[in-house]
Amino acid sequence: MKISRRCRFIICLTWPILILAATVASLPIWFPHLGYFLVVADPLKRSDAIVALGGGDMRRYIVAAKLYQEKWAPVVISTGDLVPDYIEALGEKLTFAELGAKLLIKDGVPLQSVVIINKGTSTFEEAAAVKEYSQRNKFQRIIVVTSIYHTRRARAVYRKMFANSGIEIITRSAEGGQFHAGRWWTREDDLVFVNSEWVKLFLYKFQGKI
């Protein structure tokens, strides 16, 4: 039995509509997981240093200072060679590493316990600079603190960068901010964060950085 040209047209038109309808109907099921997947955290252990990654929200430094005060490590490293736009607009030239150091000291970390690494304009470049410093100082374990939506990629980058170095990587998120992994599409900032992280995850994988 032959199918008429009109029937074939209707079938071809119906399938994409059904697929689109099923995708839209299932959004509440799989959409939250796009946010949840980005968030990871490792159990805390006594370490040689806490690393507050440059960029993102300032809660990275608040959490890093809190971990220092809880005596998880005797040193806090602030990284990043970029100068934030809002700092440059004020006529200042503070890098993220230098700005982070000021915030750490303001939050109670002694000056002598703060290390500034003015290197790196990306997660990958910062990891390379931190690895060099960690090996030079014979560290065995470090705690990497970053924004909650950035934890999966940061951990993947650091673990690959530090592979075979003998240095253990612990990743912790800067909790307490406004990011909601399970409802990321309902807030503009979260929408930007999640989309950006997924693009960077694919890009870093393609480049062999994770």
pLDDT of 5-32, one tens digit each? 555 555 565 655 545 444 444 455 657 8
pLDDT at residue number 8: 55
Q: CA–CA separation, 210 vs 208, rounded Å?
A: 6
Question: Cα dihedral sign for 66, 68, 72, 77?
Answer: positive
Domains of the chain: 49-207 (3.40.50.620)
Q: What percent of the chain has pLDDT over 70?
A: 86
User: 146: Cβ–Cβ under 8 A, 6 or more apart, which residues?
Assistant: 53, 56, 60, 154, 171, 173, 174
pLDDT at residue number 82: 86
Range 184-202 average pLDDT = 92
Q: CA–CA separation, 94 vs 84, rounded Å?
A: 8
pTM of the model: 0.85
Beta carbons of 127 and 159 less than 8 angstroms apart: no
Whose CA is closest to 149, among 197, 188, 200? 197
Q: What does pLDDT average to over the chain? A: 87
Beta carbons of 78 and 56 less than 8 angstroms apart: no
How many other β-carbons are positioned within 10 Å of the β-carbon of residue 54?
Answer: 28
Q: CA–CA separation, 42 vs 155, rounded Å?
A: 10
Point out which residues pair with 173 in neighbouring strands: 146
Give yes or no for residue 157 having a pLDDT over 50.
Answer: yes
User: 125: Cβ–Cβ under 8 A, 6 or more apart, which residues?
Assistant: 81, 119
As given in the structure block, the two tokens for residue 194 are 């999640």
pLDDT confidence band for 141 (50 / 70 / 90): very high
Higher pLDDT, 179 or 24: 179
pLDDT of 59-86, one tens digit each? 999 999 999 999 999 999 999 998 877 7
